[in-house]
Amino acid sequence: MKVLVTGGAGYIGSHTTLELLEAGHEVVCIDNLSNSKVESIKRVEKITGKNVCFYEGDIRDKGILTKIFTEHKIDSVINFAGYKAVGESCQKPLEYYENNIQGLLVLVMTMREFGVKNLVFSSSATVYGNPKSVPITEDFPLSTSNPYGSTKLFIEYMLKDLYKSDNSFNIAILRYFNPIGAHPSGLIGEDPKGIPNNLCPYITQVAVGKRKELGVFGNDYNTHDGTGVRDYIHVVDLSKGHVLAVNKLAENPGLIIVNLGTGVGYSVLDMVKAFEKVTGKPIPYKIMPRRPGDIDECYADPKLAKEVLGFKAEKTLEDMCRDAMNWQTKNPNGYED
Ligand code: NAD
Ligand code: WQD
């Protein structure tokens, strides 16, 4: 199949592009490079020995989308393009609504115009807000506490309404938990700009001496050691979940909403220990105040993804830490090198 991957140069997009190529699909990418480098795509081509048809452009630009759908017979679209930093979304809510929601609208309206009706959308466990219990099943109540989360929730509503109005669409809404790690080659990985917002890239930068110590945001949560618990999933497993979703959409399943997680939660201190084990060195850290908006525990019930997509995360926590370190060590400045 020919798959259009928006945001394909980004962290999850580049790994998914790779897995799509390995599974025998053709990939067309569009990315405006606002949070990525085209080098990631070059490396995907190097690893797979296959070509990616790359367009530098913005999904809010109907002109370039029209050009792509005219030049290629696209079977399915995976939409990764969007902004994703929770903290930044509170500073720049309008930019987040404009990029994420307007981008999705222009994309889906152009798809409809060209009769392309298979879409995979990157949602997030953030749509569960502060869950009443764990593990989280897909029927839990949805809520949002920041503009980034609101964009995901609003888009979910929009896609559900679209499906109700036209059930010839096939839509997979994938709610990711916490993607980490990198491709085992160490050639592609997460390349955050400036100080990482997320735990794992921060730890890997501490591990290689780029940052002095990790700040642990709170040790008074209601968890086994007081630090926040999350469901970390290897980005390669997550990417394979997208290949399964694309294959599933070809069977005309209608609307699918599933969690992509492992079903296992680890605390911040569990993660510190896991990285220490992989690197053989201590990870210095200090306990800091809680980060506003953080919750105690968040992990998936992964059963529905197994039933609907045949998805099961295979990689271990050790794989995640080792592959994240391999990427960080080989690319101390990300794709700048
Ligand atoms: P990323 O920033 O690495 O990738 C997003 C890509 O989209 C970037 O390459 C960026 O340049 C591009 N982009 C942004 N706006 C664009 C636009 N208007 N037109 C074209 N390209 C545009 O982020 P990621 O971690 O790979 O996340 C991918 C998607 O998954 C995002 O939608 C994100 O919200 C979602 N998600 C991510 C996580 C996570 O923890 N990484 C968790 C849940 C959901
Ligand atoms: C994990 C744990 C922190 C950094 C975010 C988004 C979510 C989704 C995934 C996109 C928490 C603690 C972190 C640090 C720390 N993204 N932490 N020190 O917050 O679960 O999820 O990314 O959809 O929407 O909110 O991930 O990696 O930021 O934090 O102690 O320097 O690590 O408090 O308990 P989070 P994270």
Ligand that lies nearest to the alpha carbon of residue 192, given by its number in the listed order: 1
Distance 268 CA to ligand 2 centre (A): 9
- Give the CA dihedral 135, 141, 142, 143, nearest 10 degrees: -100
Give the C-alpha separation, 211 to 192, whole Å. 14
Distance 217 CA to ligand 2 centre (A): 9
What is the band of 337 on the pLDDT scale with cuts at 50, 70, 90? low
Give the C-alpha separation, 59 to 31, whole Å. 8
The answer as to whether 130 is a domain residue is: yes
| pLDDT surpasses 90 at 149 | yes
Question: pLDDT of 1-31, one tens digit each?
Answer: 999 999 999 999 999 999 999 999 999 999 9
The answer as to whether 162 is a domain residue is: yes
User: Cβ(8)–Cβ(52) under 8 Å?
Assistant: yes
The answer as to whether 15 is a domain residue is: yes
Distance 81 CA to ligand 1 centre (A): 5
Q: Taking the alpha carbons of 229, 245, 319, 29 in that order, is the dihedral positive or negative? A: negative
What's 80's domain CATH number? 3.40.50.720
The answer as to whether 222 is a domain residue is: no
| pLDDT surpasses 70 at 46 | yes
36: which residues sit within 8 A by CB, 6+ positions away? 7, 9, 10, 11, 13, 14, 191, 335
Ligand 1 and 103: CB distance under 6 A:
yes
The answer as to whether 104 is a domain residue is: yes
User: Cβ(250)–Cβ(75) under 8 Å?
Assistant: yes
Distance 100 CA to ligand 1 centre (A): 9
Pocket around ligand 2 at a 6 A CB cut-off: 84, 86, 124, 126, 178, 197-199, 202, 214-217, 228, 230, 268, 291, 294
pLDDT of 70 reads 98
Whether this model's pTM surpasses 0.85: yes
From the CA of 81, give the closest atom in ligand 1: 7
The answer as to whether 217 is a domain residue is: no
Give the C-alpha separation, 148 to 93, whole Å. 8
pLDDT of 76 reads 98
Kindly report the protein residue whose alpha carbon is nearest to atom 41 of ligand 1: 179
The answer as to whether 252 is a domain residue is: yes
What is the band of 209 on the pLDDT scale with cuts at 50, 70, 90? very high
Count of domains in the chain?
Answer: 1
Q: Which residues pair with 36 in a beta bridge?
A: none
**59-71 core/surface letters (b: 16 or more CB in 10 A; e: else):** bbeeebbeebbee
In the sheet with 2-6, reading across from the earlier edge strand, the strands are: 53-56, 26-31, 2-6, 76-79, 118-124, 170-176, 255-260
User: Cβ(79)–Cβ(120) under 8 Å?
Assistant: yes
Percent of the chain with pLDDT over 70: 100
| pLDDT surpasses 90 at 257 | yes
| pLDDT surpasses 70 at 270 | yes
pLDDT of 104 reads 98
For this structure, is 176 an active site residue?
A: no
Question: pLDDT of 63-122, one tens digit each?
Answer: 999 999 999 999 999 999 999 999 999 999 999 999 999 999 999 999 999 999 999 999
Question: pLDDT of 274-283, one tens digit each?
Answer: 999 999 999 9
The answer as to whether 8 is a domain residue is: yes
Query: What average pLDDT does the structure give for the chain?
Result: 98
Which one of the listed residues 96, 148, 202, 221 is annotated catalytic?
148
Ligand 1 and 196: CB distance under 6 A:
no
Question: pLDDT of 129-146, one tens digit each?
Answer: 999 999 999 999 999 999
User: Domain span at residue 7?
Assistant: 2-180+232-261+301-309
